[in-house]
Amino acid sequence: MKLELRQAFVRDVQWGEKTQMKEGVLFIDKADALSLLAEEKRFTHLDMDLARPGESVRIIPVKDVIEPRCKLEGKGECFPGFIGGSETVGNGATLVLKGAAVVTVGPIVSIQEGLVDMSGPGTEYNPYGATCNVCLLVQPAAGIEKKEYETALREAGIRLAWYIADKCRDAAIDRSDVYEMADSVEGKAAECGSNLPRFVYVCQAISQGLLHDTFLYGVDVKQILPTLVQPQEIMDGAMISANCVSACDKQNTFHHQNNPVVMELCARHGKDLNFLGVIVTTEMMTLVGKIRSSEYTVKLAQMLGAQVAIITEEGCGNPDTDICMNAKNLELAGIKTVVIGNEVAGQNGASQGLADVTPEMNAYVSCGNINELVELPPMKKIIGDIRAIANVSGGDEKSIGSDGTIVCEIQSIIGSTNELGCSKIGCEWI
C-alpha cells in the first residue's frame, strides 16, 4: 500500500468571496460553507468563526477537531463511511491542508467537552493553538436526544472539513510525504529482513456507548471484533472520533489523522523495526466484552508473528482495565509490550494514577496527570460560551474569575494529556 500526503501549508485563514488557498492563506466563503449544512434540521442555530494562532481567543465548549483533507488520486475518499462510500483508503494521493483545522463547538454532554486557547499558556497543551481554526458553532433543535445531536455535529464537522479541502484541490503543494509498505506479512519481511524486531500497534478505541464511541469506516467499533488495518488507512481518515470522554483524553479525529505512533513506526519501518500493522481494538463496558476483545487482539498479534506491541489507551478509569488486560495477555503470549496512557493522580500527584494494575505491565509511558491545575489568562474574544467551564470536567462554577481568568485542571483543555502522545507534556522519574 502506498499513500502520498501532499501538504499545502496554511499560514492564515480569512473570509473570502471564494473558498480557496492562495499564497498560504486559506480563504473561506462563509455563506457557501454554511449552505452546505443549511438543510440540517437537527440544529436551530448555525454559524462560523475564525481563530488564528497568537490571537486573544478562547474556544469553548469544543467537541471535535478535524484536519481538512480530500483524495486527489486513488481509490475511495477521505473519511470513508461518511464521505463518498466505504472503499478502502490509504492509497494514492491525499491533499492535506496542514496548519488548518475545523473545530466543532457546541454543548452535548457538557462535562466532556473542553477548551482551546489561541494564545497564552493554554497553547502548550495541544496542537490547536497553532492551527488556523475554522469554528463551526451550533445549537441543537429542541427536544433532540444527545446521541442524535452528537451524530449531527460529528457529520457536519466532517462534511465541512472535506468541503474546505475539496475547494482547494488546486492549492500549491509545499511538501509531500510518501508512506509505502507491503500489504502482506511476507512482503514486509522481505522489505525488512529477518533480523528486525516485528512491531504491532494496538490502538484501543473508546467504545462504551453513551456517547463514548469511535467509528472505523463508518462502523461503530463496539459492534465489531478487533480489526487489523494498514497504517495508511488511519492516516487517510478511516478512524473518526465520536466520543465525549474528558477533554484531556479525547482523541479527536485530528489526532487519528496525525497519530504520532503510526507516523513514528512508519518512519522506522525497514530501518530498525518491521511495522506489521495496526490492530484497532475496543474498550468495552462489560467484562465479557473486555475479555473477548483482548483475547482476539492477542490472536491477531500472534498470527502476524509480532514480537513487540505498543498499546495506546483512550480515556481513563474503566479503560485502565483494558490496557492491563492487553498488556498481561500479550506478555504471557511472549510479546513484549509498551503502554502509552495518562494518570489521574490528584492535584497533588499523590493518588494512585491508574484504576487498575498488573505486574506484566512493566513499561508505561505517561502522558501526564490530568488533575494538574493551570491558570489561563482572560481572552479578549470567546468563541462559544465561557460559562461552559462550570460544567466541563476539571472545572466548576468557581473556575471563572471576575476578569475572565480561568483556573482549572488541565483535563479541561482538549487533548492536554492525549494518550497517542500528541501533546507536549509528560512525566519523568526523579
pLDDT at position 429: 62
Give the closest residue to 417 by CA, choosing from 251, 257, 186, 295: 251
Residue 427 lies in a domain: no
Of the two residues 370 and 173, the one the predictor is more confident about is: 173
**Mean predicted confidence (pLDDT) in 96-111:** 89
Tens of pLDDT, residue by residue over 238-286, are 999 988 788 888 899 999 999 999 999 999 999 999 999 999 999 898 9
Give the residue, 337 or 342, on which the prediction is more confident.
337
Q: What percent of the chain has pLDDT over 70?
A: 98
pLDDT tens-digit series, residues 23-76: 999 999 999 999 999 888 898 889 999 999 999 999 999 999 999 999 999 999
Instruction: Specify the 3-state DSSP secondary structure of 8.
Output: strand
pTM of the complete model: 0.94
Q: Does residue 91 lie within any of the structural domains?
A: yes
Q: How many domains does the chain have?
A: 1
Provide the pLDDT confidence category of residue 110 given band limits of 50, 70 and 90. low
Say if 417 falls within a structural domain: no
Percentage with pLDDT > 90 across the chain: 72
- Which segment, 59-73, 111-125, 408-422, is predicted with the most confidence on average? 59-73
**Residue 303: Cβ-neighbour burial (10 angstroms; 0-12, 13-18, 19+):** exposed
| Largest pairwise CA distance in the chain | 64
Catalytic residue among 135, 168, 203, 244, which? 244
pLDDT number for residue 316: 80
Dist. CA 30–CA 283, nearest whole Å:
39
- pLDDT of residue 428 exceeding 70, the answer is no
Q: Is residue 426 part of a domain?
A: no
Within a domain: 418: no
Average pLDDT taken over every residue of the chain: 92
What angle do helix axes 318-332 and 287-304 make, rounded to 10 degrees?
A: 40
Domain with 139, as residue range(s), is 2-412
Q: CA 344, 318, 151, 423 torsion: positive or negative?
A: positive
Q: Alpha carbon 178 to chain centroid distance? A: 21
Pull the grid cell for residue 349. 500527584
H-helix or E-strand spanning residue 283: strand 274-283
Q: Is the pLDDT of residue 168 over 90?
A: yes
Domain assignment of residue 265, yes or no? yes
Band of the pLDDT at 295, cuts 50, 70, 90?
Answer: very high
pLDDT for the residue numbered 169: 97
Q: Are 42 and 68 in contact (CB under 8 A)?
A: no
HSE, side-chain direction, 13 A CA sphere, residue 428:
2
pLDDT mean over 224-250 = 92
Answer yes or no: is 423 within a domain.
no
pLDDT at residue 332 in the model: 97
Are 363 and 335 contacting, i.e. CB atoms less than 8 angstroms apart? no
Query: Does the residue 421 lie in any domain?
Result: no
The reply to whether 244 belongs to the active site is yes
Q: Give residue 315's pLDDT band: very low, low, confident or very high (50, 70, 90).
A: confident
Q: What is the pLDDT of residues 178-212, one digit of tens each?
A: 999 999 999 998 998 889 999 999 999 988 877 78
